[in-house]
A = this chain, B = another copy of it.
């Protein structure tokens, strides 16, 4: 694992960990997702599913490096109600990533960009910053997004 995470790379030592939850208070789910990010999960998401006897449930998914398996299990077993988890080996292909600044009417704002084989293919305003501007200046969030995107496009 000597790659620079800012460069485009493939990481073959990832796990996709899953747990089906059908007897847990769903109110706890976002709290548990945050705890999983804290122990190092690369991504966490839940999928609505239908389980045994037609019960609505959610499947918790955690994408994480193999070396963090037991840390993730620690959170899942202590915070959820599951009696077991499963995992599969996965490879992650991540684009080269960088941050750019653009000048907007509300000051400098950040755009996260992604490169595939050296070519810029993604650019996205930073959610947290846009949210803060929207609140501070009482403008719709979409207006902030659009201005940041337009200003970035005009530079590229």
A14 contacts B by Cβ under 8 Å: yes
Q: Are B84 and A95 in contact (CB under 8 A)?
A: yes
Chain B residues whose CB sits within 8 angstroms of the CB of A124 once the complex forms: 23, 81
**Copy number of this protein in the oligomer?**
6
Between-chain CB contacts (< 8 Å), 17 pairs = A16-B86, A23-B25, A25-B25, A28-B142, A30-B54, A30-B55, A31-B141, A43-B51, A45-B49, A45-B50, A48-B50, A83-B112, A83-B122, A84-B93, A86-B90, A87-B91, A89-B89
A22-B30 in contact given A94-B84, A140-B78, A146-B149 (Cβ < 8 Å): no
Residues of A within 8 A of B (CB): 14, 16, 20, 22-33, 37, 43-59, 61, 63, 73-74, 77-95, 97, 112, 114, 116, 121-122, 124, 127, 131, 134, 140-142, 145-147, 149-150, 153-154
